[in-house]
Homo-oligomer: A and B are copies of this chain.
Amino acid sequence: MSRSPLHSATIIDVAALAGVSKSTAARALANYGSVSEKTRERVERAAKELGYQPNSLARSMITGQTHTLGVVIPDISSHFFANAMRGVSTAAREAGYELLLSSTEGDLSLERRAIELLAAKRVDGIIVAPVSTEETAHLERLENQGIAVALLDRPAPQVKSASYVSVDHVAASSMAVNHLIDLGHRHIGIVTEAVMPPDWQESLDTADGTLLRPSAARLVGYRDALRSAGIRYRDEYVALSAYAKTSARAATERLLRQNPQLTAIYCTDSELSAGSFAALQDMNVACPKEISLIGFDDQDWATLVRPRLTVVEQPNYQLGMAAAEEALAAIADPEGHRRRRTLNGRLIVRDSTGRPRSGRPA
């Protein structure tokens, strides 16, 4: 009770009160070395009386471990990352790790600063969904500092020692488009954030698609599916949109106006799906009668709207867990091989997709 109000008790205070040396007090409190039962009890009583709270900074200084994982993501408020974070959080807690979180707003310089601060705080590992696939020097530097890196959702090929956890976006995307093709659709538009990677022609023929950023990989999956079905890929069916509902809405309206022959639309992202759905409503386009729609990510509203939305579901929570697991594995075994862990998306067919009408009124 009534001790110095601001400066909390240290191990020395506890030792003094218990009448032992600080080494002994330390052993008793942190459970290492050997201490007699009596001494331990005495020390513990003293600690309780003083309201002793260990200082893990001091401990970390010596052990070189902070039991802390850094998490660097573009936007904590997004559905995907908020859910992934819960997975990260669960896995971390079970392993006895804390989380140091930075939300970077998709800003590369903020990401750099965040990484630097986390390194200064000596986190044991970092889970990052990098803003850029190429600009990753700040991440590569972590290797030399002995900080484990696990990439979440977005690849960074130059960070050699990092594990990478994501959905197989190419396959998930193809699955969605194949569903439309199976229904008989031949004119399928796509609303996406991505620009096609410059080397997409090759990408189509290799498995490298999995090393593209998700949005690009999804676009590749779209092309793959069309190609396999012998359907021509048309640039004019690709509507680029910024990552925002209003933008997706405008992009969708443009897409439909300029391509009256379209009978289906596939959205590569949850945010974009909401925008496209709103566009159909605004334009009074009957769904799925005139236009079939597939969204990405199974959100709350998918079953609340009419028609219920057919979506590609991603295992958000599991992705977060897996990323944390990989980071922890890399911490436990710094020399171990880093892994590429791919989870599967799942198509949930609801009411927003159906057979195409012969023709849609322009």
Contact = CB atoms under 8 A, between A and B. Distances in A.
A60 to B, nearest CB: 5
A98 to B, nearest CB: 6
B304 A53 contact: no
Interface string A83-98: 1011001100100001
Number of copies of this protein chain within its complex: 2
Interface residues of A, number: 58
A146 interface: yes
A6 interface: yes
Interface string A74-89: 0111110011011001
A144 B1 CA distance: 10
Q: Which of A53, A118, A141, A281 has the most CB of B within 10 A?
A: A53
Contacts of A317: 77
Contacts of A305: 301, 304-306
A66 B85 CA distance: 23
A20 interface: no
A131 B68 CA distance: 24
Contacts of A175: none
Nearest to A317: B77
A211 interface: no
A138 to B, nearest CB: 11
Given A101-B101, A278-B303, 12 more contacts: A51-B144, A54-B120, A56-B121, A57-B57, A58-B61, A68-B100, A75-B86, A77-B317, A245-B300, A281-B304, A300-B301, A301-B304
23 contacts: A5-B146, A6-B146, A55-B122, A57-B66, A71-B101, A76-B85, A76-B89, A77-B83, A77-B86, A79-B82, A86-B103, A89-B101, A89-B102, A93-B102, A98-B118, A100-B101, A101-B101, A274-B304, A277-B304, A278-B304, A301-B301, A301-B304, A304-B305
